[in-house]
Amino acid sequence: MSPDLLSRRTITFVNIAHALDHFVLLIYPTAVIAIAAEQQLSYASLIGLSTGAFVAFGLFSLPMGWLADRLGRRNLLGIFFGGCGTACLGLSTANSPTAFGIWLFVLGVFSAIYHPIGSTMLVTHARQLGRDLGVNGVWGNLGAAFASGITALLSTSFGWRVAFILPGVVCLAAGAAFIRLVPGDGDGHGRSSSAKPIIPVTRPMTLFLLFALAIVAGGMTFNITTIALPKIIDERAGASLPLVLTGSLATLVFVFGALTQLLMGRLVDRLTLPRIFAGLSILQPLGLGLASLTTGLPMLGGLVLAMAAIYGQVVVNDAMVARYVPVQFRARAFSVRYFLGFTTSGLAVPLIALLYGMNGFGLVLSAATMFGTIIFLCSIGFLLAAQTAPHSSGLPAE
């Protein structure tokens, strides 16, 4: 197989994996509305069962770079497809809170494979870094977007168990196709992105600490918003909505995030990363603050603005790792990046349950606004610190 064909196939399956990764993790936050009604349990108690999934999602991302050096990235991504499919089928059989908790944890372990491994594979095989990161981000965002709508539709039409069975079968089929069509890792021969120089810095520890803090706070806003979104719309849209319409509105909000990721991908190829980081991050506290203070259409507008910024930030963060970290350390760097973001943000689930029980989603969104403000302050600090790096102000992002 030619290197060019291998790269095209690899990027295609990495994109599919990104969509499925976000889809399977967000089935439960929508299905839980139907599960609560069927089993006569509270939303707060049931949503708390997914804590293990999101903690595992971050915790197990840390060793993936190390495992990739020994097992191969292609093999790990194959395990991702098979493991997520098996976990979804297991969840469809759950009949008790304990079973839900166990299978959600298993799902979190296998879903943790994608981001450090898939991101490294994408950067290795990308022809144009910003564009390919943006397109990959759209796949992930559409996976998250359609999770709400499709889960709501399947739960209403066929029952919540089918909402887990169908994606499980799709994961297993995609994994079988991936193993058959992608024979190895490859090295992305001829890809222009691999020849781009690493951006030099003079204050690496300052930049790392600011970036790490922004990643942690960003993980909180990402998970608080994506996990709670269907229930926020259910309660604060200004009317009593059927589950299908609630899921459809949640899908629409996610779609705006996908459009922002395409825009960010284009900007990454044209502007300096610290400036994009600072300009985009101000939208998170603005959108989340508006959503926390309003209901109805203004609330939906705030969620659209916040979701666009949150998902656009994912593209920018991945581009920063690709452009600031040498090739030989990227898999491990992506592991640390997602470990920081997803492990800490595993606290989002109990935080949602706690704050929702205290004062509803107004308090939940206020907490998300605080984390969004931290991201903005970190981005300003990163911009100021990066300006002291040699030639950094004149370097394009890719």
Torsion of Cα atoms, 132 then 193 then 197 then 209, to 10°: 30
Question: In the prediction, which pLDDT does 194 show?
Answer: 43
* CATH number assigned to the domain comprising residue 209: 1.20.1250.20
Question: In the prediction, which pLDDT does 300 show?
Answer: 84
Question: In the prediction, which pLDDT does 394 show?
Answer: 39
* Residues 363/238, Cβ–Cβ less than 8 Å: no
* Residues 105/53, Cβ–Cβ less than 8 Å: yes
Nearest of 111, 120, 113, 85 to residue 11 by alpha carbon:
120
Q: Which amino acid is at 66?
A: W
- CA dist., res. 360 & res. 176, Å (int): 44
Instruction: Please give the DSSP secondary-structure letter assigned to residue 85.
Output: H
Buried b (16+ CB within 10 A) or exposed e, 128-149: bbbbbbbbbbbbbbbbbbbbbb
Nearest of 343, 266, 281 to residue 311 by alpha carbon:
281
Residues 6+ apart with CB under 8 A from 69: 331
Question: In the prediction, which pLDDT does 51 show?
Answer: 82
* Residues 112/59, Cβ–Cβ less than 8 Å: yes
In order, the DSSP letters of 328-354 are GGHHHHHHHHHHHHHHHHTTHHHHHHH
Torsion of Cα atoms, 64 then 67 then 73 then 76, to 10°: -80
Phi-psi region of 69 (alpha: psi -120 to 50; beta: other; left: phi over 0): alpha
Taking only the tens of pLDDT, the chain with its 398 residues reads 788 899 999 999 999 999 999 999 989 988 888 888 887 777 777 888 888 888 888 889 889 888 888 888 999 999 999 999 999 999 999 988 899 999 999 999 999 999 999 998 998 898 888 889 889 988 987 887 788 789 989 999 999 999 999 999 999 999 999 999 998 877 654 444 444 567 777 778 888 899 999 999 998 998 888 778 878 887 877 666 676 676 677 777 777 777 788 888 888 888 888 999 999 999 999 999 999 998 888 888 898 899 889 888 888 998 898 888 887 788 888 888 888 887 776 688 788 888 988 988 889 999 999 999 999 999 999 998 887 544 443 333 33
Question: In the prediction, which pLDDT does 247 show?
Answer: 67
Question: In the prediction, which pLDDT does 181 show?
Answer: 95
Question: In the prediction, which pLDDT does 192 show?
Answer: 45
- CA dist., res. 258 & res. 253, Å (int): 9
Question: In the prediction, which pLDDT does 238 show?
Answer: 61
Nearest of 333, 323, 327 to residue 124 by alpha carbon:
327
Question: In the prediction, which pLDDT does 154 show?
Answer: 93
> How many domains is the chain built from?
1
- CA dist., res. 25 & res. 113, Å (int): 13
Domain range for 123 is 3-394
